[in-house]
Amino acid sequence: MAKARVGDTELYYEVYGKGEPLLLIAGLGYASWSWFCQVERFAESYQTIVFDNRGVGESDKPDIPYSIAMLADDTAGLLASLDIPAAHILGVSMGGFVAQEIALRHPEIIKSLVLGCTSFGGPDSIPITETALNSMLNVQGLTPEGIIRQGFKTALSEDFRNSRPEVIDRMVGWRLEKPTPRYAWERQFMAATTFNTESRLNRIKAPVLVITGADDLVIPARNSELLAAGISGAELVIMPGGGHLFFVEQAKEFNRRVLDFLDRV
C-alpha cells in the first residue's frame, strides 16, 4: 500500500480498518501476507497495520548485520512515521522477539503485547528441534519452491498439511512472488540467534498475552510457559494440536483469543 522512510531503510506497510492501532509483526523470512487469516477480522475492531521487516517482501534488504534491537527500532520508527504514539503490538516467532525488544526499548509506545509462538531466547530457552533446524539449513540443491515447501513441513502440523493443501499452495505462491534473498534470510536468522531478554523480562509492564500451539516444532511450547512465567501478570494460552503457524491452522480460535484479550485491556 505504501512505504515509509525509517532511518536508512524504507519499510513497506498496509493499514486496514479504524479504531485503536494494532501492529502485527511477522516471523523470520515472512512478509505482511502472512497475516491473511487475521487482517480482515482484526480490522473490524482495530486499525490494523501490517508491514515487511527489513530483509523481506517489499521493504529494503540491506546486506549488513541485523539485530533484533535494530528491527525493534525500525518498527518504532514506522509507528512514529504514521503519527501513532502508541499501539497494541502482536508478534509471532521472530516477530515476538521484536515485540519484546520494543516493549523494553520503547515502552511508551506499547498499549499491550501479544507474543505468539516465541521465546525469550538465550541459553535457558528450549532450542529449536533438530527436525526444524535441518529443514531451514539443509537446502543445498533445492529449488526456491522446494526450500519453501520443506520449511512448511515443520512449520505446519501434519493434519493441516494433509487437509488443506490449497492453503499451502497459496502461501508458497506468495513467498515466490515476493522472494526473500538467501542473504537477507540469513541476516534475520543470525539476529534471532543472538536474541536474549530473559534477564530483562521483569521490566515489561504492559498487559501481555503469551499464546502458542502445543505441537510447535520450531519454538517448542515450553518456551511460552517460561516466557509467561517471567513477565508479571502475563496470560498464557496453549492451543492443542497447533504447529508453529498455529495462527493460520487455527485462525478462528487464535483471532478470538487475541481479540478477547485486546478488548479486556
What are the tens digits of pLDDT across the range 240-257? Answer: 999 999 999 999 999 999
Give the CATH number for residue 135.
3.40.50.1820
What are the tens digits of pLDDT across the range 170-223? Answer: 999 999 998 889 999 999 999 999 999 999 999 999 999 999 999 999 999 999
Domain extent, residue 97, equals 2-264
User: How many structural domains does the chain have?
Assistant: 1
Written as nine digits, the cell of 45 is 475492531
Measured from the Cβ of residue 236, the count of other Cβ atoms closer than 10 Å reads 17
Q: What is the mean pLDDT of residues 120-130?
A: 95
Report the alpha-carbon distance of residue 212 to residue 220 in Å, rounded. 9
Q: What is the mean pLDDT of residues 33-50?
A: 98
Residue 224 burial by CB count (10 A; 0-12/13-18/19+): exposed, middle or buried? buried
pTM for this structure? 0.96
